[in-house]
């Protein structure tokens, strides 16, 4: 018996924890080595065993999420091993690795071992990795469902006990009813929180395929949340939009690393076609989840254009779902700044200018105006939680204010970086630069303390 763990991929600190533990079982060392090579780029802890007995011994000692077993092995074959795994660790996902001549054993594994899937030899590396990702996501979803069921059962039992004693406490009836209401509200909030957390787990599986500097979902979600709060969107629309912000790039899971890191405007030919299919792919992956139908619809249509030349259905104007129109603004605004659309990172103010320029062609004019106003006045994407953020012109700046974002010149040159404390000298230089360029700067600033930085000169920021 051998137990080995793959060396983790080099990642930015802190290192990522493995998303799952895999146990590979095969009597041929070269097959185990080949499987490990295929999975080296995945964030798994990989254990190996060369026969069924060794595999069962590992299962007694280790918390294993997925077992992949060869079908034909000396002694205990794959079907018998997976059957014992099912009895020993029913929560463990079981996958059979089988050849064309192993059909009888495969049927046994399905009937006795209740396997999740089988993979035919010789396997396709991409399909093998995709099957494992789906298996891990399936197990995470089942764990969350069991947790919620246990929580609901516990809360139902508590309600039963309360109702049994309710009539015996008539004098405190009003207070008890209030306590029960509070408990129900807390339970409902917990269920909603769990629902959101499950989606975030799923979203994290998507973002792990992308480099850290291209993780855009969190900022897109912040923008959607702030817009929903400001414009008091109804709860169902808000929920579907936040789910769409977490899952909008689900359709990119099947892309290779090169496509994931190439700006969309640099994709051509077949790559371009694959890119234009990702909204439909994302929708199709969610269609079986009834509670995410609204989310799936927003994801499908968030690349439609107001003038009708978008995709996949060339919808025009009001025919585009409202949530898809808003999602498109948030996604494009963040991805422009990350360099995911154009072959360069677009500074924040220039990204806003580009949204404004495309209003009426790509974006709904009134919604685009409201979105830009949100970004200018509140700047939720800057992550300045707990700080007062204000949009000021150069003449309103005061020494001691702190920049909330980088300032770039009209030609894209970085002038001042985020977090810089303004001095009178710097403010004078900005004013002078405005005179030379013939334009004006609008800056996002925060100031220590709770006072409004514009109060001292009477201007309303």
Domain final residue pick, 377, 410, 441: 377
In a domain, 236, yes or no: yes
The DSSP output letter for 100 is G
Mean pLDDT on 199-207 = 67
> Do 27 and 53 share a structural domain?
yes
pLDDT of residue 103: 64
The DSSP output letter for 288 is T
In a domain, 157, yes or no: yes
Most confident of 17-31, 79-93, 208-222, 302-316: 302-316
Q: What are phi and psi of 178, to 5 degrees?
A: -65, -40
Q: How far is CA 143 from the centre of its chain?
A: 19
> Do 453 and 351 share a structural domain?
no
pLDDT of residue 199: 65
As given in the structure block, the two tokens for residue 104 are 């009888």
**Alpha carbons 50 and 53: distance in angstroms, whole number:** 9
88, 56 in Cβ contact below 8 A? yes
Sequence-ordered strand ranges (E) for 27-182: 44-49, 66-70, 93-98, 117-120
241 Cβ contact partners less than 8 Å away, ≥ 6 residues apart: 224, 228, 233, 298, 323, 326, 327
Q: Is a pLDDT exceeding 90 seen at residue 288?
A: no
pLDDT of residue 211: 82
pLDDT of residue 262: 93
Dihedral sign for Cα 80, 85, 87, 88, please: positive
Domain at 268, CATH number: 1.10.3210.10
More confident residue, 125 or 309: 309
Q: Is a pLDDT exceeding 90 seen at residue 412?
A: no
401 Cβ contact partners less than 8 Å away, ≥ 6 residues apart: 392, 421, 422, 445, 446, 447, 453
> Do 253 and 168 share a structural domain?
yes
> Do 267 and 141 share a structural domain?
yes
More confident residue, 251 or 16: 251
Domain at 37, CATH number: 3.40.50.2300
208, 19 in Cβ contact below 8 A? yes
Domain count within the chain: 3
Query: What pTM, to 2 d.p., does this model score?
Result: 0.49
> Do 363 and 254 share a structural domain?
yes
Q: Is a pLDDT exceeding 80 seen at residue 189?
A: no
In a domain, 9, yes or no: no
Domain final residue pick, 358, 377, 396: 377
In a domain, 2, yes or no: no
Q: Is a pLDDT exceeding 70 seen at residue 461?
A: no
> Do 70 and 197 share a structural domain?
no
Task: Tell the residue number behind the tokens 């959607």, with chain if given.
Answer: 224
Mean pLDDT of the chain: 82
pLDDT of residue 342: 95
In a domain, 13, yes or no: no
In a domain, 325, yes or no: yes
Task: Tell the residue number behind the tokens 């900005």, with chain if given.
Answer: 430
Mean pLDDT on 419-430 = 89
> Do 353 and 226 share a structural domain?
yes
pLDDT of residue 457: 39
128 Cβ contact partners less than 8 Å away, ≥ 6 residues apart: 35, 38, 119
**Alpha carbons 92 and 106: distance in angstroms, whole number:** 18
**Alpha carbons 123 and 313: distance in angstroms, whole number:** 36
Query: Which residue segment(s) compose the domain that 434 sits in?
Result: 386-457
Most confident of 12-26, 164-178, 271-285, 377-391: 271-285
Query: Distances from the Cα of 212 to the Cαs of 10, 34, 216, 336, 440, in angstroms?
Result: 13, 28, 9, 16, 34
> Do 106 and 146 share a structural domain?
no
**Alpha carbons 185 and 63: distance in angstroms, whole number:** 35
Q: What are phi and psi of 239, to 5 degrees?
A: -60, -50
In a domain, 28, yes or no: yes
133, 205 in Cβ contact below 8 A? yes
Q: Where are the alpha helices (DSSP H) in 248-392?
A: 257-261, 269-286, 293-301, 322-338, 348-357, 365-377
Mean pLDDT on 28-48 = 90
Name the pairing type of β-strands 66-70 and 93-98.
Answer: parallel
**Alpha carbons 250 and 299: distance in angstroms, whole number:** 9
Q: Is a pLDDT exceeding 80 seen at residue 181?
A: no
More confident residue, 275 or 214: 275
């Amino acid at each position: 018996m051998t137990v080995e763990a793959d060396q983790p991929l080099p990642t930015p600190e802190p290192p990522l924890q493995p998303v799952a533990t895999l146990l590979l079982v095969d009597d041929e060392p070269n097959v185990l080595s080949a499987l490990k090579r295929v999975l080296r780029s995945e964030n798994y802890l990989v254990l190996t065993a060369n026969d069924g007995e060794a595999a069962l011994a590992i299962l007694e000692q280790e918390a294993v999420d997925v077992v992949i077993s060869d079908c034909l092995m000396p002694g205990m074959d794959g079907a018998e091993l997976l059957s014992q795994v099912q009895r020993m660790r029913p929560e463990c996902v079981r996958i059979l690795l089988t050849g064309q001549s192993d059909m009888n054993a495969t049927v046994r594994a399905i009937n006795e071992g209740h396997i999740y899937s089988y993979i035919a030899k010789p396997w396709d590396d991409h399909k093998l990795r995709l099957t494992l990702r789906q298996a891990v996501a399936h197990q995470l979803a089942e764990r969350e469902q069991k947790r919620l069921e246990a929580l609901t059962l516990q809360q139902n039992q508590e309600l039963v006990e309360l109702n049994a004693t309710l009539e015996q406490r008539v004098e405190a009836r009003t207070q008890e009813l209030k306590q029960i209401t509070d408990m129900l509200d807390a339970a409902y909030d917990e269920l909603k929180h769990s629902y959101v957390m499950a989606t975030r787990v799923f979203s994290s599986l998507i973002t792990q395929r992308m480099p850290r500097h291209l993780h855009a979902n969190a900022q897109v979600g912040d923008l959607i949340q702030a817009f929903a709060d400001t414009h008091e969107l109804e709860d169902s629309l808000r929920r579907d939009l936040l789910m769409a912000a977490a899952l909008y790039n689900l359709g990119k899971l099947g892309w290779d690393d090169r496509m994931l890191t190439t700006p969309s405007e640099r994709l051509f030919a077949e790559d371009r076609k694959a890119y234009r299919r990702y909204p439909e792919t994302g929708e199709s992956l969610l269609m079986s989840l009834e509670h995410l139908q609204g989310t799936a619809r927003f994801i499908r249509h968030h690349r439609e254009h107001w003038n009708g030349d978008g995709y996949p259905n060339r919808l025009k104007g009001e025919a585009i779902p409202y949530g898809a129109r808003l999602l498109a603004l948030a996604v494009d605004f963040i991805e422009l700044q990350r360099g995911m659309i154009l072959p360069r990172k677009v500074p924040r103010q220039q990204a806003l200018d580009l949204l404004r320029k495309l209003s009426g062609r790509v974006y709904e004019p009134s919604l685009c105006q409201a979105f830009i106003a949100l970004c200018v006045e509140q700047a939720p994407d800057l992550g300045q939680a707990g700080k007062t953020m204000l949009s000021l012109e150069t003449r309103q700046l005061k020494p001691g204010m702190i920049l909330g974002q980088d300032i770039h010149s009209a030609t894209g040159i970085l002038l001042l970086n985020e977090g810089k404390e303004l001095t009178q000298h710097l403010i004078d230089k900005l004013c002078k630069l405005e005179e030379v360029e013939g334009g004006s700067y609008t800056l996002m600033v925060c100031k220590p303390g709770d006072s409004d930085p514009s109060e001292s000169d009477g201007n309303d920021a």
